[in-house]
Amino acid sequence: MKIILASQSPRRRELLERMGISDFEIIPAQGEESVKRTRTLTPDQLVEELSRHKCAEVMASCPEDLVIAADTMVAVNNRVLGKPGSEEDAARMLTTLSGRLHMVYTGVTVARGGTMITEHEITSVRFRPLTQADIIRYIATGEPMDKAGAYGIQGYGSLLVEGISGDYYNVMGLPVCRLGWMLKRFGVDPLALAAEKELAK
């Protein structure tokens, strides 16, 4: 059995490796992440649906392997902020987040054979008040452009975050603790894999 990560996100790849899972293949889902067709869903329902869609797409070509898929979104008062399409879009998102509490949702789907499990994690994040200069300088780093909500907590975006409540890794795009429990239901124990790796050294 192979383990497949249905994402080309370097952050998700890094987090999976940190969990002790080093032997996996990356097959990113190619389908469009359509919010339009699911706009009646709440953010938690939306990330779950999108993660299921990604997982099912990759699983179709490798049904006997274990597939992990995830989708992360930022929301303010249930208004979803996806990845910015331009620097102006990023500036609008960061202005919206300035000095406010927002929620980060990640839907995770794990599947193998005829079994598919989908769950989600929610983390609350509070930004400090941002000046226009803060926003311009942060966008100039290039970091916001490929991230939901236009920031990355693991990078320069950490300078904008006043505090969080919940799973830090969820904000990076993969709720590690929840995924670990989900994998155990498929017979994959990340702690056991990590222990074996250390003992083999």
pLDDT digits (tens, 9 = 90+) for 161-175: 999 999 999 999 999
Active site residues per annotation: 71
pTM equals: 0.91
**CB distance 91 to 78 below 8 Å:** no
Choose among 57, 178, 27, 167: nearest CA to 117. 178
Name the packing angle between helices 190-199 and 176-184 (round to 10°).
Answer: 90
Mean pLDDT of the chain: 92
Q: What does the chain come to in residues?
A: 201
Burial of 1 (0-12, 13-18, 19+ CB in 10 A): exposed
The confidence band for 35, taking pLDDT boundaries of 50, 70 and 90, is: very low
What's the CATH fold of domain 3-199? Maf protein (3.90.950)
φ, ψ of residue 200 in degrees (nearest 5): -80, -10
Asked whether residue 180 carries a pLDDT value surpassing 80, the answer given is: yes
Separation CA 83–CA 72 (nearest Å): 10
Partners of 41 in the β-ladder: none
22 neighbors 197 (Cβ within 8 angstroms): yes
Please tell me the predicted confidence (pLDDT) of residue 39: 57
Q: Could you give the maximum distance between any two Cα atoms of the chain, in Å?
A: 52
Short-list 166, 61, 54, CA closest to 110? 54
Q: In the prediction, which pLDDT does 111 show?
A: 97
Residue 29: what residue type? A
List the chain domain ranges.
3-199
Contact indicator for 161, 126 with CB cutoff of 8 Å: yes
pLDDT of 150: 96
- Report the candidate in 86, 105, 100, 98 with the shortest Cα–Cα distance to residue 173: 105
> Per the structure block, which two tokens stand in for 113?
């054979």
